[in-house]
Amino acid sequence: MTARLVLVGAPGSGKSTVGALLAQRWGEPFADVDAVIEARTGRSIAEIFADEGEPAFRALEEGTTAELLDGAGVLALGGGAVMSAATRQALADHPVAWLQVSVAHAAGRVGLNEARPLLLGNVRGRLVRLLAERAPLYAAVATVTVETDGLEPVEVADRVEEALTRA
Ligand SMILES: Nc1ncnc2c1ncn2[C@@H]1O[C@H](COP(=O)(O)OP(=O)(O)OP(=O)(O)O)[C@@H](O)[C@H]1O
Ligand SMILES: O=C(O)C1=C[C@@H](O)[C@@H](O)[C@H](O)C1
Ligand SMILES: [Mg+2]
């Protein structure tokens, strides 16, 4: 099976929000890899990072992503999922939307939220580095790219739909 759409992008780019909106519009199921991991383990992502470390989380994320990519509907990946070469390879078979966001807008959206363990301590500084490291990886897997700065989630969803019709 092939997902109707997979969303990738940095923390705060709006994958979960816009993914749910598009799924609702299209009458498709929606899944969010972070939420599925949390539901299955009964722990928050932050707790998994703290208890088992990032490599253990990444292994869990890679397996869960592969499994969910085999399903239908709209799928929001974790912000760091594209760091896995296996995941990037699997994404070659799917329509993928990269939601782009600047550091300023991403920082404003995620705030000082403890739910994002990778950003703890220095949200802006960590986002600068993370976006620089990951931009080529998001670009490599993207079928369409949509800039989200200054747009409401509904407007981002509109642009994703427009971009997909042109892709
Ligand atoms: N286009 C937007 N404009 C303003 N706020 C937004 C927009 N998209 C999402 N948000 C808000 O920003 C926050 C982060 O959005 P969301 O959780 O959808 O991002 P995400 O890409 O899934 O992040 P993560 O990788 O951390 O899961 C939420 O509070 C959401 O309501
Ligand atoms: O950008 C990242 O590396 C992450 C983003 C979130 O979606 C979670 O998957 C986790 O907090 C790691
Ligand atoms: Mg999310």
The domain spans of the chain are: 5-166
Residue 112: pLDDT over 60 = no
Mean pLDDT across 92-114: 87
| Structure confidence at residue 1 (pLDDT) | 73
59 vs 72, residue with greater confidence: 59
Ligand 2: which residue has its CA nearest to atom 11? 116
Cβ–ligand 2 distance for 78 under 6 Å, the answer yes
Ligand 1: which residue has its CA nearest to atom 27? 11
Cα–Cα distance for residue pair 25/15, rounded to 1 Å: 15
Cβ–ligand 1 distance for 109 under 6 Å, the answer yes
Mean pLDDT of the chain: 93
Q: Which CATH number fits domain 5-166: 3.40.50.300, 3.40.50.450, 3.40.50.2300, 2.40.110.20?
A: 3.40.50.300
| Structure confidence at residue 167 (pLDDT) | 86
Residue 130 has which token pair? 């993370």
Ligand 2: which residue has its CA nearest to atom 7? 78
> Contact at 8 Å (CB) between 30 and 20?
yes
Tens-place pLDDT, residues 119-136: 666 778 888 999 999 999
Quick count: other Cβ atoms within 10 Å of Cβ 1? 8
pTM, two decimals, is 0.95
